[in-house]
């Protein structure tokens, strides 16, 4: 017998799918506020779709196609591959069982009667009537409902899966804090704007706005002196300068941070001068390919340049930033500096001596960004 939440979900989905505003609103309230999952009503879902544990913290992209008699459990992501990729979402055929903490990504097909074991990361087609497990997912055995059910029940996820769940929940919490400011941010930043930032903040904005990555300053950070040098001759560094890689940073703090980070990451040297910490990259090849590709997309006629008081930043760095000729620029700092027009003093960080993490405190930066540029206009 199907659980009550499944029955309500299916009833509301049938009303909302292709329906009007009223039923879509009711469906959205039920799925996001009561179940705690994100399954758009535009997703194609077959009959007898079943959810366990409310499919809590699960996210399904609108382009996904789900067949009949499919079951879904909590903390699962099903969607397109890569933010700036044109690849389509998965197709889930009939009679598929999806365990908890699963990630199914890309233009792939999960064959009829397959079982995706708990914690599996699936990026390739899964044949019908098979059980896949692991990261990346591999075939465990042939079909059989008893085997599939026994595997899902008996499998105990490792600590990394629990950490991934915690991160997913935290990501949603932080997004809710930023969400109220996104409409105003969208008015300030047009889709063809290129955002240059000293850390990951540009990527945070572009993800929230659904923009193409048209800047290479994503998933990385600069030490303050290097960032000012980079901005002082931006066009050269983005169009002509060669990116090489170092065995270690010239900053002791850079080496200390990399040693403590969750994984080794490459450290670049641009034009023989500007050191770049590619924090969220795993290889020099990956960092170089994405840097050059995204640098080609930069719109020099429509730039927003953002600096932050972090990474050995001094008052001289903030003043040097202010003298740069960019029309739309802002520097977030913990200091109220007279006659430095681009400086944006954030009082809540004053006691720290540097501004907070733009990922964790994105809502604060969004609010200040809106206040600054709305006042200027």
Whole-number pLDDT of residue 158? 54
Distance, CA of 132 to CA of 112 (rounded, Å): 13
Query: Among residues 129, 84, 132, which one has the least CA distance to residue 104?
Result: 132
* Contacts of 56 by beta carbon, 8 Å cutoff, 6+ apart: 35, 36, 37, 74, 75
Whole-number pLDDT of residue 56? 81
Contact in structure between 335 and 316 (CB atoms under 8 Å) = no
Strand order in the sheet with 103-105: 59-60, 77-79, 103-105, 121-122
Distance, CA of 298 to CA of 293 (rounded, Å): 10
If one counts every other C-beta atom within 10 angstroms of the C-beta of residue 117, the result is: 24
HSE-CB at 42 with a 13 A cutoff on CA atoms is 4
The two beta strands, 138-142 and 130-133, are antiparallel
Asked whether the predicted pLDDT for residue 118 surpasses 50, the reply is yes
Whole-number pLDDT of residue 325? 94
The two beta strands, 71-72 and 97-98, are parallel
Whole-number pLDDT of residue 42? 86
Q: Give me the mean pLDDT over the 24-35 stretch.
A: 90
Asked whether the predicted pLDDT for residue 131 surpasses 60, the reply is yes
What does the angle CA 82 – CA 54 – CA 204 come to, to the nearest 5 degrees? 30
Residue with tokens 């050059």: 292
Whole-number pLDDT of residue 63? 82
Q: Give me the mean pLDDT over the 343-368 stretch.
A: 91
Query: Among residues 50, 44, 95, 99, which one has the least CA distance to residue 73?
Result: 99
Whole-number pLDDT of residue 334? 94
pLDDT above 90 covers a percentage of the chain that reads: 57
Q: Give me the mean pLDDT over the 27-39 stretch.
A: 90
Mean pLDDT of the chain: 88
Strand order in the sheet with 44-45: 44-45, 65-66, 91-92, 109-110
Whole-number pLDDT of residue 85? 43
Q: Give me the mean pLDDT over the 163-176 stretch.
A: 79
Lowest mean pLDDT among 31-45, 111-125, 138-152: 138-152
- What confidence tens digit (pLDDT) does each residue in 47-98 have? 889 998 878 888 998 888 899 999 999 989 998 876 544 457 899 999 999 9
- What confidence tens digit (pLDDT) does each residue in 281-303 have? 999 999 999 999 999 999 999 99
Distance, CA of 326 to CA of 270 (rounded, Å): 21
Give the confidence band of 169 by pLDDT, cuts at 50, 70, 90: confident
Whole-number pLDDT of residue 355? 92
Q: Write out the two tokens for 193.
A: 């704007």
User: Residue ranges of the domains in the chain?
Assistant: 4-171, 180-376
Asked whether the predicted pLDDT for residue 253 surpasses 60, the reply is yes
Q: Give me the mean pLDDT over the 218-235 stretch.
A: 96
Whole-number pLDDT of residue 24? 87
Contact in structure between 137 and 106 (CB atoms under 8 Å) = no
pTM: 0.60
Q: Write out the two tokens for 99.
A: 């365990």
pLDDT above 70 covers a percentage of the chain that reads: 90
Residue with tokens 């944006």: 344
The two beta strands, 138-142 and 115-116, are unpaired
Q: Give me the mean pLDDT over the 96-109 stretch.
A: 91
Each as own residue / partner, the long-range contacts of residues 175-178 (CB below 8 Å, 24 or more positions apart, any chain) are 175/208, 177/362, 177/363, 178/208, 178/362, 178/363, 178/366
Whole-number pLDDT of residue 102? 93
Q: Give me the mean pLDDT over the 206-219 stretch.
A: 91
Asked whether the predicted pLDDT for residue 166 surpasses 50, the reply is yes
**Domain 4-171 annotated CATH 1.10.1660.10:** no
């Amino acid at each position: 017998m199907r659980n009550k939440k499944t029955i309500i979900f299916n009833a509301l989905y049938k009303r909302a799918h292709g329906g009007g505003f009223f039923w879509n609103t009711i469906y959205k309230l039920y799925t996001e506020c009561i179940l705690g999952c994100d399954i758009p009503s535009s997703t194609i879902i077959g009959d007898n779709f079943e959810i366990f544990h409310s499919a809590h913290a699960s996210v399904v992209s609108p382009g996904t196609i789900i067949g009949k008699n499919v079951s879904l459990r909590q903390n699962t992501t099903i969607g397109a591959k890569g933010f700036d990729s044109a690849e389509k979402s998965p197709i889930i055929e009939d009679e598929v069982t999806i365990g908890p903490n699963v990630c199914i990504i890309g233009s792939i097909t999960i064959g009829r009667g397959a079982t995706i074991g708990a914690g599996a990361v699936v990026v390739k087609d899964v044949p019908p009537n098979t059980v896949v497990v692991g990261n990346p997912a591999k075939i465990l055995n042939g079909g059989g409902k008893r085997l599939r059910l026994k595997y899902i029940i008996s499998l105990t996820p490792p600590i990394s899966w629990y950490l991934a769940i915690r991160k997913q929940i935290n990501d949603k919490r932080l997004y809710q804090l930023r969400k109220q400011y996104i409409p105003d941010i969208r008015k300030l930043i047009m889709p063809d704007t290129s955002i240059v930032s000293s850390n990951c903040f540009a990527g945070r904005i572009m993800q929230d706005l659904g923009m193409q990555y048209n800047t290479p300053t994503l998933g990385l950070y600069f030490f303050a002196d290097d960032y000012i040098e980079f901005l002082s001759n931006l066009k050269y560094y983005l169009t002509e300068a060669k990116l090489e890689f170092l065995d270690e940073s010239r900053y002791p703090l850079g080496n200390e941070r990399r040693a403590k980070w969750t994984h080794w990451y490459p450290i670049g040297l641009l034009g023989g001068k500007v050191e770049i910490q590619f924090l969220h990259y795993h290889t020099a090849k990956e960092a170089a390919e994405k840097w050059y590709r995204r640098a080609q997309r930069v719109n020099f006629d429509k730039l927003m340049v953002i600096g932050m008081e972090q990474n050995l930043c001094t008052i001289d760095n903030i003043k040097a930033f202010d003298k740069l000729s960019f029309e739309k620029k802002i520097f977030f700092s913990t200091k109220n500096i007279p006659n430095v027009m681009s400086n944006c003093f954030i009082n809540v960080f004053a006691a720290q001596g540097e501004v907070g993490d733009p990922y964790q405190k994105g809502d604060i930066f969004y609010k200040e960004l809106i206040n600054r540029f709305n006042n200027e206009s």
